[in-house]
Amino acid sequence: MNSSRRQFLRNTLAGTTVLTVGGVLPGFSAGSYARILGANERVRVGMMGVNSRGLALATNFALQPNCEVISVSDVDSRAADKCIATVETTQKSKPKAQPDFRRALEDKNMDALVVAAPDHWHAPAAILASKAGKHVYLEKPCSHNPNEGEMLVAIAKKYRNVIQMGNQRRSWPNVVAGIDALKAGAIGRPYFAKGWYTNNRASIGVGKEVAVPAWLNYDLWQGPAPRKPFKDNLIHYNWHWLWNWGTGEALNNGTHMLDLMRWGLGVEYPTRVSSSGGRFRYKDDWETPDTQVINLDFANNTTMSWEGRSCNGRTVEGSSVGVMFYGEKGSLLLDGGNSYKIFDLDNKVVKDVKNDLVIDPRDKMNPSQALDALHIQNFFDGIKKGTPLAAEIVGGHQSTLLAQLGNIALRVGETLHLDPANGHIKNNPQAQQLWGREYQSGWEPTV
Ligand SMILES: NC(=O)c1ccc[n+]([C@@H]2O[C@H](COP(=O)([O-])OP(=O)(O)OC[C@H]3O[C@@H](n4cnc5c(N)ncnc54)[C@H](O)[C@@H]3O)[C@@H](O)[C@H]2O)c1
């Protein structure tokens, strides 16, 4: 057993934490369930949230020869049934249906939880899983708000488990090569990065309060979020655009590009953030902006800007999603896929590294299965060998925070000034209010 694994076991075994969120599992001694994994043993994972992205991940995890999906948790029984059938066909063994993921966490055979539930569940679920002695594959954004991001960093430090965020491009070979080229000086010093996401999303309409359908446990779907009545246009997916559960396009798709920009410019926390935009295209229940620009300044004389257009799919540089780095001697394009291109200052292409796999950035579920498997294998290597993670949680929090700060700046209508040591907002009580969130009583996450 390697030292990080031993340390993880020591820490989790030392813990006598009882899971309390939601007030269930009385007496469950979480830390006692950390399992020792042999080098050739399969990693046994439980899935939480399997409608769209979770189904794609379940399929991908089940396809990995060194993995077994042992349980499937979803509060939508239809989504769970479909996922169980798909996984059974893929891996030839049937995962257990466990509608409440907190019960699934009690299984001492589970090594890791894969979280692909809505954003308001990400950090609270990852925290519960960590306390239960599990590793976590945590979909982006890692948190609903900055305070939760900081809690995740603290929890990973406390339990020393492996938490990999689902910003999978960190594991794509030609993206890594592009960032390496950037760092090797291919365009001189990069000092400005521009990222974008564009789509033609339809209106979500105005929802009606209706009875909760029989296939849904709406109370557990809401979990830590303050209770709101069930409406017929909320589930699935449209919650992305409502602040109680979602985080808008900036965290939905912006997180991926802001992460690449932060990586390429070699920065952590900004000094100043501003944002403009709004819900411009339709008048409906959608609360988050459908059009947004976020500008971030950093202490090392670099700037980044992210543009989101949820309802006008006109591409930028021929791609619906991407990042361009601008430097002293040229520019470097990451077009959202497994590829990169370098231009000189006269716009001449000086290097063109193409992707050899089909990627559809507008495929909500599974844009890039083969490439994402690399991210999953890196997660397994982190668990078994202590290999450094491509998307560890400190960096995951830093990237997610950039989008969160953009949303906060937009919501308060002011430029935010920040402490570059930790991204904390200075001298703005209204903005500081949005650093955390209100929780449904009894569901508050704790470190
Ligand atoms: N990395 C990527 O490229 C990528 C791509 C798509 C989505 N995502 C992320 O994945 C997450 C899910 O996205 P989606 O499009 O599949 O959303 P979705 O709304 O279609 O599916 C979410 C699923 O989670 C389930 N769920 C809710 N509460 C639950 C609970 N307490 N326990 C178990 N299941 C619960 C829902 O019933 C639903 O089936 C989002 O946070 C999104 O940002 C990441």
Q: Which two structure tokens, joined as six digits, stand for 291?
A: 């059009």
Ligand 1 neighbour 148 (Cβ under 6 A): no
Ligand 1 neighbour 259 (Cβ under 6 A): no
Pocket test of ligand 1: the residue of 75, 98, 148, 219 to mutate, having most ligand atoms within 8 Å of its CB, is 75
Ligand 1 centroid–CA 421 distance in Å is: 32
Ligand 1 centroid–CA 140 distance in Å is: 10
4 CB-contact burial (10 Å; exposed 0-12 / middle 13-18 / buried 19+): middle
Ligand 1 neighbour 137 (Cβ under 6 A): no
Query: Which of 33-37, 154-158, 196-200 bottoms out in mean pLDDT, i.e. has the lowest?
Result: 33-37
pLDDT (0 to 100) of residue 10: 47
Q: Which two structure tokens, joined as six digits, stand for 434?
A: 């949005």
Q: Has residue 77 got a pLDDT over 90?
A: yes
Q: Can you tell me which atom of ligand 1 is nearest the CA of 141?
A: 43
Which amino acid, 89? T
Mean residue pLDDT across the chain: 92
Q: What is the mean pLDDT of residues 408-433?
A: 98
> Over the stretch 276-290, which tens digit does the pLDDT of each residue have?
999 999 999 999 999
Ligand 1 neighbour 248 (Cβ under 6 A): no
Ligand 1 neighbour 247 (Cβ under 6 A): no
Ligand 1 neighbour 140 (Cβ under 6 A): yes
Ligand 1 neighbour 364 (Cβ under 6 A): yes
110, β-bridge pairs: none
Q: Look up the pTM and report it.
A: 0.93
Ligand 1 neighbour 51 (Cβ under 6 A): yes
Q: Can you tell me which atom of ligand 1 is nearest the CA of 237?
A: 19
Q: Are 69 and 59 in contact, with CB atoms under 8 Å apart?
A: no
pLDDT over 70, % of the chain: 90
> Over the stretch 139-169, which tens digit does the pLDDT of each residue have?
999 999 999 999 999 999 999 999 999 999 9
pLDDT (0 to 100) of residue 367: 61
Sheet holding 291-298, edge to edge: 349-353, 340-344, 330-334, 321-327, 190-198, 302-309, 291-298, 272-278, 416-417
Output the residue whose Cα is nearest ligand 1's atom 7.
53
**Secondary-structure percent of the chain, ordered helix, strand, coil, rounded to 5:** 35, 20, 40
Q: Are 395 and 423 in contact, with CB atoms under 8 Å apart?
A: no
210 CB-contact burial (10 Å; exposed 0-12 / middle 13-18 / buried 19+): exposed
Output the residue whose Cα is nearest ligand 1's atom 10.
116
> Over the stretch 373-396, which tens digit does the pLDDT of each residue have?
999 999 999 999 999 999 999 999
Ligand 1 neighbour 221 (Cβ under 6 A): yes
Ligand 1 neighbour 101 (Cβ under 6 A): yes
Could you give all domains of the chain from N- to C-terminal order, each with its CATH number?
3-170+369-392 (3.40.50.720), 174-361+395-432 (3.30.360.10)
